[in-house]
Structure 1
């Protein structure tokens, strides 16, 4: 019986109606124990109509077992895995223990999305997820990943999570906190539960705090003196209820209490398992009968179900420690099926009263299996408990460091630092000490600053420079990137010195990273050869670590090998998609976006940065969000969205961690906004902030032409020449046509000896990508108009307008229109393009134009097939097409 809750019921009705209409919706019900969350889930199930219902209840004892909740949810649909993309199907098989193939920790989320969509293909689907605070973290991650990406599927999802217990954060999902019942509704519920004297009813209503379960239980047992609380300050409802259930359990015979304890100690086991464990303690199935008559449990062939989670908690906590140990030991002895290996290991550990190396070894195996299934959070808990049970300090330290790595992978940064510090104190093994320091550096990158992360990483690599050179190179490679992000030449030199001192390390990687550090410190001549060697080695090799391949591709971008860099990065992103390595994807898309940005692939970059930012948010990669926001600011400026560019840039500039390169890119974006809007003086300060630093400062060397243009427009040629040596060195030593074209443009703008015309023509004729070519044509056209050559000016301006429009760099169109108007000419019409599409629509449409099916597109973009179809449905009118076959004829 539900009393009150009319608003919540109405909300649930709307949620399910939307799902039946093909609009996915989700809701989180929050509140204390007994407040009515489960009753509302019951209501949702009762009014589901023709919807299929998947219902799962979180179980505290299974909060440590990777993917336990997800497996319960899909136990009747495992045959549908064959319909999923191969990598996703394999990920769920691994998650459920049916495969040993290692998977990325986020891929089961993509597989969950696909499987939910597949199930909903039969009829609308209602997912009811009760006591979600007790779901294992791996299942939570997978479900939230899926639910946030459901858009056009007939799926409604309702989570219920208890307050005051293990947290259940669900950012991005609609959430409702259930309050206690009002006085009138509480009185109605009490009257329906029992006929009570007025003073007793008033006491129950006052002490219950409007908690429906408290009202029902206290009213039902009001004849017992102890059922009515004493007249003192009210206790929390959950504590009072648990005590009430404990009293009921104390009144049962010893064999029944033992049976309840076994069921409470492992609520996930099948009935034969519980009965077998009871037999080991001298009991049998008949021991449950008194508890059934008291409505404490329901026993069926599927197992033992407690009427309320607090009954289960009371049954376990009421038992003395020795009896709890005996129960766990009895369960461990009967869980002999290999599929129950994790559960058995946890029972063995729970039965340990002190150090137990055998139990610790078992939990280490649990952690290895969890890591292979992408369940890093489960691995953390297993390794932490294994360390507690380990007798040898050195091995305990090793396990704590391994737990720290798992915690970092799971996004538990504070826990990772705590475990790494504890592990490092217990071990003197160089590799473990280095690993612990590396973890601290990675956390510091996110929490403190790239500069601090560099210092910690350089120190962490010291113990293994000679003994474990590959580990040292990996740590120092990351340290070099951190130093680059900090834009700190001194730290870059330290990284280079340490890399040079690694004996027998991976030579191409060392060459590339030393060259990278030298470049950023201004030693361009020697740096370029080293970097080119590393780029060629990576380009010509097969396989290799992701970080190495991404680093090599980015180095190609820095030495002007733009097309090679884009090709390598595109290929690596495709590999990560095919493997389902979502954790790496934002970090791979970052240099890809940068490469697309500087080569004028504005729409490509927009699509990738939008996806990367969403994924980085999902994965808790907050500093990566800042880095991507800087690029998104530049792209917004190029598109003509000045307000968006300023909003994103301010987020970057206000971030306390001061990611040096992100700050430079954000300043570049703001400088572009000013330059587009006719404020060269304002632009000059911003652009000098972007160009400030070592002559070889990363990709912002490409901002120098913008700084030169701004300075020339305000008439300050001295400031215009300030950063030109850096661009000159880049062009001279890389021999890149891009660098040559940009340098020629700057020389033309600064020329006062009659060579500007020839320099502009040479710049336009040099291959540098559509964006930079159009920028050169714009300033060339402006120069021609000022020198009274209207026809030649018109030719350059019309060409610039067409390119800007075609690639989506609409922020420059007003300036071109202004110049054409001054010539008495009208601007050409906008090009037929994909400009009206959202970034995700563009990603979908491009793949559809290549002949990919909705399922194939969904697998690659981590969407559901119906969401892909929804995007296509919205895109067709924008593109002026009616059929999929027409997409291949468009310029996308």
Structure 2
């Protein structure tokens, strides 16, 4: 049922689930739930009922709004705003992170993980006073930062007396994306009897039972459809049901119905609804100020309220999100620009400069340097809050509005870099291409090549990205040697992943980078050591790898975790491996540096497993999925396969190993192929099937993969010795 009804028809089971959730929260336990279903099926009504049942508890609410999904932390800030009196009770690092993220204070942009931990702490502090119920409607339209942080928090709630309930518009089936794995309540259409009763309550007159059954079938028992689609139709018009063949998706038909009702309203009322539709914050004074600028008075709201499209209170509230989208999507372009223009003029440039710039951008007819510059400043403020995705969107829109070719190219390049930093690699190539149409200088063109290559590397770690990274590094050699070394190191990493499928890529990288001055930055030190390893052999590289490890004195150096961990293993220094991964995990947890933690956890699990500390390794690896969900990465496959092999779980281990082999062959990732061979040898040695272990290990040592070759040689020595194959054992012992 939809909001506005006095009771929910046919929702006894769902209401019981929510009542049980509240009981558990009152008893001191935390619960998270995702209510999923199609538009109009009654998700918001269930959240309204839950809020009413929790009236004596603390209830905070927010909703995603499609029009503001580019604003980082917007929904999260609305949800947390009533809880900010508890902010001073958080540790300073968490308090500062939320202050910067919400624009309450200046400071270093916080990592997403730290903001998530701070929100978790804020919920816990609030719940210590009274159980807390957090309701998030229309979660499919949450801005990316709010979505990831709230999903992260939902996975970590335990005994804080907090309920976190999301309502998400989604088709049938298991939850995907950020909410995958969270408890869910699938909401479907009403049962036939309940659907007929609801339909009868709004039919304009008697309708043949067979027609009524067809209507119920066509709507699938969707409450909003049963209430809305019969509006304005006579019994004769209802005689053939609602749609017939090709009627389109139910949400589209509902939106079309709302649009017809909007189109029938007076012009001023339609303008009022449009301004409300594009003002997503729910700021009543701002809305009425903008309407006054358009010459529209309060009386214009009455026809929309009478048509049951809006509810007037402290601010205007649409009856259903489909009403908002119907108004927004059905508006004439000129009217839409006028609404944005009025909102921009009504928005305080000191208090809300970013929203003002956003409205100005949507009001612009053509290029406008003043608006483009304002958007660029908004991007800077978004970055200062840690909102990389928002900054990228602001910069992209700024580039589109920039009249001067040089400035437009510069902003397009900045937008590409921001999208890359936000993890949206697929947005990078088009923006780089747009930038290259402009008058870029040599350094900017070199950086354009670097951005395109790194975007490719994010989506494909194999051989195909080695040469583009090499080309980009070559262009940067004279212009920015430090950036060139960092890019060569990235190419080295790609070549290592390509491994035996790399067609000499590792040697090409080493030859290209060997005569570049080594530099004193951490990336440069490791690059020099790895180039020596590839060109002169492991023995010559050992002193340089050891020096590089000793240079890891500052916590910030842990950003080069992958070469550091590999260097420790290549040197056979288990203590250093444990130390580096332990420091990396500790640093990332303390500071919330998600990009480090997502890599550090699998490396830490592998080091603990190699040390024989298996329970600790599995505990660490258990944390990885939630972090990977927040970071949008997936890096734990190899560690999981190795640990499963060490446990001797034959079938689960073989499933993981075979998946790695297929993935390695399909994507040209020789390192996965090598790790699969090593894991297979580990498994068979543990099971005592030594000939199979030797066979797998012999396949693995045919190519000198960094680190993996040494591991596999150890397994080959054991397998060949126990199988009585002295020649193979001597081959392995000689390296």
Structure 1 235/227 Cα, relative in aligned 2: closer, same or farther at 3 Å? Answer: farther
TM-score (norm 1): 0.74
1:198 aligns to what SS in structure 2?
Answer: coil
2:686 pairs with 1:676: yes
Residues 416-455 of structure 1: per-residue CA shift (max 9 Å, x gap): 4444455455564444444444444445445434322322
State the Cα deviation string for residues 500-522 of structure 1 (Å, max 9, x = none): 34358447643432322332456
**1:334 matched to 2:346:** yes
2:696 matched residue in structure 1: 686
Is the 1:55–1:129 Cα contact (8 Å) retained in structure 2? yes
Quote the Cα distance in structure 1 between the aligned partners of 2:294 and 2:20.
51
1:648 is aligned, of 646, 649, 656, to 656
Runs of 4 or more above 6 Å deviation: 224-231
Residue in structure 2 matched with residue 275 of structure 1 by the alignment: 288
Alignment of 1:75 with 2:62, yes or no, is: no
| Native 8 Å contact 1:550 1:569 kept in 2 | no
Q: Report the Cα distance in structure 2 between the residues aligned to 1:673 and 1:316, rounded to whole angstroms.
A: 59
Higher mean displacement: 288-297 or 228-237: 228-237
Instruction: Specify the SS of the correspondent of 1:399.
Output: helix
Larger Rg: 1
* Shift, 1:414, TM fit: 2.9
Question: Any residues of structure 2 matched to 1:505-520 within 5 Å, and which?
Answer: 505-506=519-520, 509-520=523-534
Contact 1:457 1:476 in 2 (8 A): yes
CA contact (8 A) 2:275 2:339 kept: yes
Once the two structures are superposed, residues 812-863 of structure 1 have per-residue CA deviations (whole angstroms, 9 ceiling, x without a partner) of xxxxxxxxxxxxxxxxxxxxxxxxxxxxxxxxxxxxxxxxxxxxxxxxxxxx
Which shifted more, 593-602 or 352-361?
593-602
Stretches of structure 2 lacking an aligned partner (at least 5 in a row): 1-6
Q: Could you tell me which residue of structure 2 aligns to residue 551 of structure 1?
A: 563
Aligned 8 A contact 2:218 2:242 in 1: no
Q: CA deviation at 1:334?
A: 1.7
**Partner residue of 2:147?**
140
| SS of equivalent to 1:338 | coil
1:485 is aligned to: 497
Q: Tell me if 1:297 matches 2:310.
A: yes
Decide whether the 8 Å contact of 2:57 with 2:133 is kept in 1: yes
Structure 2 partner of 1:285: 298
Report the equivalent of 2:3. Answer: none
Residues in 1 aligned to 2:401 and 2:627: alpha-carbon distance in whole angstroms: 37
In structure 1, the residue matched to 2:516 is: 502
Structure 1 unaligned residues grouped into runs of 5+: 727-892
State whether structure 2 residue 512 is matched by structure 1 residue 534.
no
Give the alignment of 1:333-372 within 5 angstroms.
Answer: 333-372=345-384
Matches of 1:527 and 1:63 in 2, distance apart?
50
Which is further off, 278-287 or 580-589? 278-287
Report the secondary structure of 1:106's partner residue. helix
Instruction: Pick from 179, 185, 196 the counterpart of residue 194 of structure 2.
Output: 185
Corresponding position: 1:217 with 2:223: no
Is 1:714 matched up with 2:723?
yes
Contact 2:66 / 2:141 at 8 angstroms: preserved in 1? Answer: yes
Quick one: structure 1 residues 98 and 406, their matched pair in 2 at CA, closer, same or farther if it must change by over 3 Å? same
1:826-865 equivalences in 2 (<5 Å): none
The residue number in structure 2 matching 1:739 is: none
CA distance in 2, matches of 1:285, 1:144: 39
Q: 2:36·2:168 contact (CA, 8 Å) conserved in 1?
A: yes
On the 8 A contact 2:155/2:626 being kept in 1, the answer is no
CA distance in structure 1 between the aligned counterparts of 2:237 and 2:498, rounded to whole angstroms: 66
Which whole-Å CA distance do the structure 1 matches of 2:305 and 2:349 have between them?
29
Cα distance in 2 for partners of 1:284, 1:5 equals: 40
User: CA offset at residue 333 of structure 1?
Assistant: 1.2
Q: Is the 8 A contact 2:132 2:162 kept in 1?
A: yes
Matched ranges for 1:343-742 at <5 A: 343-424=355-436, 426=438, 428-445=440-457, 447-488=459-500, 490-503=504-517, 505-506=519-520, 509-520=523-534, 523-536=537-550, 538-539=551-552, 541-542=553-554, 544-548=556-560, 551-552=563-564, 554-622=566-634, 624-626=635-637, 630-655=638-663, 656-657=666-667, 659-694=669-704, 697-698=706-707, 700-726=709-735
Give, in whole Å, the separation in 2 of the partners of 1:673 and 1:42: 54
CA distance in 1, matches of 2:548, 2:345: 56
State whether residues 486 and 523 of structure 2, in contact with CA within 8 Å, keep that contact through their aligned partners in structure 1: no
For residues 709-730 of structure 1, give each alpha carbon's deviation from its aligned partner in whole angstroms, at most 9, with x where no partner exists: 221222221111113333xxxx
Q: Is the CA contact 2:311–2:317 (under 8 Å) kept in the aligned structure 1?
A: yes
Secondary structure of the structure 1 residue equivalent to 2:734: helix
SS for the counterpart of 1:705 is helix
Q: Is the 8 A contact 1:509 1:534 kept in 2?
A: no
In the alignment, is the contact (CA less than 8 A) between 1:469 and 1:504 conserved in 2?
no
The worse-fitting range, judged by mean Cα deviation, of 560-569 and 109-118 is 560-569
Alpha carbons 1:446, 1:621 under 8 Å: kept = no
> How far off is 1:270 after superposition?
1.9
* 2:163 aligned counterpart, secondary structure: strand
Alpha-carbon distance change, 37 to 708 in structure 1, aligned in 2, over 3 angstroms: same
How far is 1:581 from its partner? 0.4
Structure 1 residue 352, shift from structure 2 partner: 0.7
Q: CA separation in 2, counterparts of 1:473 and 1:340? A: 41
Partner of 1:8: 14
In the TM superposition, what whole-angstrom CA distance separates every residue of 1:482-537 from its partner, at most 9, and x where no partner exists? 2223225832222222223435844764343232233245623432233233333x
| Contact 1:445-1:453 within 8 A present in 2 as well | yes
Matches within 5 A, 1:797-816: none
Instruction: Give the distance between the partners of 2:712 and 2:255, measured in 1 at CA.
Output: 66
2:227 is paired with a residue whose SS is helix
1:873 is matched with none
1:84 aligns with 2:90: yes
For 2:21 and 2:417, the matched residues in 1 are separated by 40
Distance 1:363 1:605 in 2: 46
CA deviation digits over 1:537-587, x for unaligned, max 9? x14x54554434663454244224443443344333322222110122122
DSSP 3-state at the match of 1:584 = helix
Q: Quick one: which of 106, 109, 120 aligns to 2:127?
A: 120
CA contact (8 A) 1:196 1:219 kept: no
CA distance in 2, matches of 1:194, 1:649: 61
CA drift at 1:139: 0.8
Farther off after superposition, 24-33 or 91-100: 24-33
Distance 1:683 1:5 in 2: 58
- Contact persistence 2:215–2:242 (CA under 8 A): no
Summarize the Cα distance change of 1:250–1:662 in structure 2 as closer, same or farther, 3 Å threshold: closer
Measured in 2, the distance between the counterparts of 1:226 and 1:330 equals: 41
Alignment counterpart, residue 29 of structure 1, candidates 29, 32, 35: 35
